Structure 1
């Protein structure tokens, strides 16, 4: 039986590579106004996804464009719930208008990383996703508090791993201001991906082998070389025998 993996990337962040990335991926998380994105960029990203049969997700974040959503803000759970509902609702309305199904929600940046370790933030996000549509998938860092919160709320959770981000021994992503946070060389990224998918482990920055489960593989779309990385990763996945399909599409590829 052919193994399947979802290959996702962030879109609509103004980085200029979306059109080249979309043909390589199976799902996309579209910035919906918090860290980046506006009505026009969301429409364009949705249209690209429809053109290439790529599943669509919302990519909500702290409302902090000045720092691209990568600065952690201290907000009460009720405000986090509200910002997720508002941003997902904005993209969902455009999807409905354009005849595009919404598949998932994936928090962005500092909100994602906070939810990975903080149960209260994770619970607020899981509740927000459920309130928007209980049928949506929640994309969450593999093995994190957000996975646990989503499962407790009855959501379908896709455990996410990263092609070009470094890991700590605790299975968290290395903060971007620390050494080893970003993998710059393609061959190093490919080696990490093979280890995660084939062996179920990732090598942490301190050298430890950390167990990890992968339902979806992420590439950051704001890299300058994102398009080349996306094509190389797709080629490598297919060479390893993986069918690249979004979670909602799996039944079509039995």
Structure 2
């Protein structure tokens, strides 16, 4: 069985060269919350070198808050920003003859379109033309999943390997101490339960159905390299190929 491990990269942590050998897809910041031509080019080059599938990681245009705050912005301005981020990314990707595998929204934008139909619809209208031959990474049982499928967008279900979930399958807010899972053994257990049983244990200790095609480890998690290396080694022992 194959499983995809993805990382958010190109975000100024400069650990990509350590992450890439242990992941199979990546989401590269393209100027909304972080990133410029230089960081995009460098990260694309590393991904191609390590045969890692390449995704764009657009965000609210909010570098001040690293895209992790819900901001007030008009529909037109948001659509223009998302498309300009993707145009920049695709321009840099074409210069290295790279292929866009997927798009994954970042941070507050990702969380908002998971629950807000109007915003999800706006997002799909912004990105649909870029997704003719690519996937959209979405959370399971979310609003953006439904809107994407209604618009014939190909999706892959994403689960977070290093984050805890609420009972409604939203992510525990980073405001709380239990938002992140940092213990590598606990991350592995979390991932294996989802792969083998299709269940995630939420913070109220209930088990909820969930689907996963790809698992994310945030590149800026303090021990991200340790986590992805441990997953890579131990998932293979379970007969799972990271690909």
Q: What TM-score, normalized by structure 1, do the two folds share? A: 0.92
3-state SS of paired residue (1:104):
strand
- Which of the numbers 30, 33, 57 marks the counterpart of 1:32? 30
Contact map agreement 1:77 1:120 (CA 8 A) in 2: no
Higher deviation after alignment, 116-125 or 75-84: 75-84
Higher deviation after alignment, 45-54 or 236-245: 236-245
3-state SS of paired residue (2:138):
strand
Question: How far is the alpha carbon of 1:223 from its aligned partner?
Answer: 1.4
Q: Deviations over 1:27-71 (max 9, x none)?
A: 100000011111100000000011011110000001111111101
3-state SS of paired residue (1:213):
coil
Q: Which residue matches 1:17?
A: 15
2:139 paired with 1:141: yes
- Which of the numbers 50, 53, 56 marks the counterpart of 2:54? 56
Q: Which residue matches 1:215?
A: 213
3-state SS of paired residue (1:57):
strand
Question: How far is the alpha carbon of 1:78 from its aligned partner?
Answer: 3.4
Q: Deviations over 1:52-97 (max 9, x none)?
A: 1111000000111111110111334333322221111111111111
Contact map agreement 2:55 2:101 (CA 8 A) in 1: yes
Higher deviation after alignment, 75-84 or 37-46: 75-84
3-state SS of paired residue (1:176):
coil
Higher deviation after alignment, 179-188 or 49-58: 179-188
Structure 2 unmatched ranges of 5 or more: none
Q: Which residue matches 1:72?
A: 70
Higher deviation after alignment, 29-38 or 144-153: 144-153
Q: What TM-score, normalized by structure 2, do the two folds share? A: 0.96
Contact map agreement 2:102 2:131 (CA 8 A) in 1: no
- Which of the numbers 192, 203, 209 marks the counterpart of 2:190? 192
Q: Which residue matches 2:202?
A: 204
3-state SS of paired residue (2:156):
strand
Q: Which residue matches 1:232?
A: 230
